[in-house]
Amino acid sequence: MNTRTSPPRVPSRAFSLGLAHGSWPRLALGLTVGLALTGTHAFAQDWSDRPDEFAPTGIETDTGEEAGAWTFSYQYTRTAGSGLLDGRGSVSSGDVFADGYNASPHHKVREAHLFSALYGYDETTSIRFTLPWLNNEVTMRSSLGGIYGMRSTGMGDLRITGLFDLSQAEGEGFHAQLGVSLPTGSLDERGITPFGGGTSEKLPYYLQLSSGTVDLIPGITYVQQDESTSLGVQAREVLRFSENSDDYQLGNETILNAWVSRVFKDDLSGSLRLGYHHLGNVKGADPEIDATQSPMHDPRNQGGDSVGVFAGLNYTQTGGHSFGFELGGPLWQDLNGPQVEHDISYSLGWHFSF
């Protein structure tokens, strides 16, 4: 979310490139293109003072910046989950133990603090730097009886993204992005479990703070505004091309979103967003992670597909400050193997432009 006092570069919400397998990415991409083609008429007017000038809070790379201008931002996202899904069906911890695992995930929380700086390099190009601070917690049930926890906290992977304007028409924005993720996070998170004999052992893939590889992040965004409404779509991919130093490769990601925002007052707008996320399975395996300990430790039980709906508010303030909030949850999930299903999630954001 961004607030500026000059003509808008326009926000965005995510609908991705559809490189994932299956029909959901193609369907979501079709809805994205359809929304872009049937969007509202754009009037020749400056919308930069409107609260919907920036995207709903859950979108990271929404818009560029004017030449020589800066935007600093902070975004907090919390996602929680409980209960187990295998594909689209519910399973129990007993089912997991029957499959030969020693432990079953019961509850999870993922928190992300994103610190970003956006700089307008020239009239058509902006550069964004994003550094995350992550906190991941998982509660496990042991086949021996009892409950224990695992946790990882620390810096994630640094992302550097170029945003390139493809159109600067009044009342609309169209830009491409090309980013790179650098493995600055830890790939050696460890903890003590009931199965390690009191010795610290490698935590599962979900609790590692880095992909361990240099990843490419392409994307495209389109937003259109009329007198009181804006429509936006965004498509983004995270592409991974090689194994990391621990002999595995995280799956590619497809992130697709479409949203509509409505201005209620000069400084307040509301939004409704539909989002799709695909995460591919892990390729290879870390020899230090015991795949028999739990489904979270098994590279075959990572990733999946989900569709969610999110409602949000944007509020702008004089002096270049803007704030946002978004709350939502899944409509549909299809997860690879026994995994904790996603429940409620929310995001808070603050931006300051000058």
For 148-203, the three-class secondary structure string (H helix, E strand, C coil) is EEEEEEEECCEEEEEEEEEECCCCEEEEEEEEEEECCCCCCCEECCCCCCCCCEEC
Supply 4's token pair. 């500026």
**Least confident interval from 31-45, 111-125, 154-168, 313-327:** 31-45
Supply 354's token pair. 């000058």
Question: What is the reported pLDDT for 111?
Answer: 97
Q: Which residues contact 308 (CB under 8 A, 6 or more apart)?
A: 274, 275, 277, 328, 329, 330, 331, 342, 345
Task: Pick the more confident residue, 126 or 27.
Answer: 126
When the pLDDT of each residue in the chain is averaged and rounded to a whole number, the result is: 86
pLDDT band at 167 (very low <50, low <70, confident <90, very high): confident
Rounded to an integer, what is the distance from CA 70 to the centroid of its chain?
23
Supply 142's token pair. 């042991």
Please tell me the distance from the alpha carbon of residue 175 to that of residue 197, in angstroms, as a whole number: 54
Question: What is the reported pLDDT for 251?
Answer: 96
- The conformation of residue 129, written as its DSSP 8-state character, comes to E
DSSP helix/strand/coil, 100: coil
Distances from the Cα of 186 to the Cαs of 168, 177, 205, in angstroms?
A: 40, 26, 12
Taking residues 218-235, what's their average pLDDT? 93
Question: What is the reported pLDDT for 314?
Answer: 95
Q: What are the respective helix, strand and coil percentages of the chain, to the nearest 5?
A: 10, 50, 40
pLDDT band at 319 (very low <50, low <70, confident <90, very high): confident
Task: Pick the more confident residue, 289 or 319.
Answer: 289
- Counting residues of the chain whose pLDDT is more than 70, the rounded percentage is 86
pLDDT band at 63 (very low <50, low <70, confident <90, very high): confident
Taking residues 310-316, what's their average pLDDT? 96
Angle at 274 (CA atoms; ends 271, 278), nearest 5 degrees: 140
- The conformation of residue 239, written as its DSSP 8-state character, comes to B
Q: Are strands 70-82 and 103-120 parallel, antiparallel or unpaired?
A: antiparallel
Residue 32 has pLDDT above 60, yes or no: no
Residue 60 has pLDDT above 90, yes or no: no
Question: What is the reported pLDDT for 48?
Answer: 59
Q: Are 233 and 218 in contact (CB under 8 A)?
A: no
Residue 11 has pLDDT above 70, yes or no: no
Taking residues 127-138, what's their average pLDDT? 97
Cα distance between the two ends of the chain: 14
Which spans in the chain are helix H?
23-37, 93-98
Residue 237 has pLDDT above 60, yes or no: yes
Taking residues 200-213, what's their average pLDDT? 96
Residue 330 has pLDDT above 70, yes or no: yes
Q: Comparing C-alpha atoms, which of 112, 25, 117 is closest to residue 75?
A: 112
pLDDT band at 231 (very low <50, low <70, confident <90, very high): very high
Residue 10 has pLDDT above 60, yes or no: no
Residue 177 has pLDDT above 50, yes or no: yes
Task: Pick the more confident residue, 144 or 139.
Answer: 139
Task: Pick the more confident residue, 172 or 22.
Answer: 172
DSSP helix/strand/coil, 78: strand
pLDDT band at 327 (very low <50, low <70, confident <90, very high): very high
Q: Comparing C-alpha atoms, which of 100, 99, 77 is closest to residue 86?
A: 99
**pTM for the full predicted model:** 0.84
Q: Comparing C-alpha atoms, which of 207, 261, 208 is closest to residue 231?
A: 261
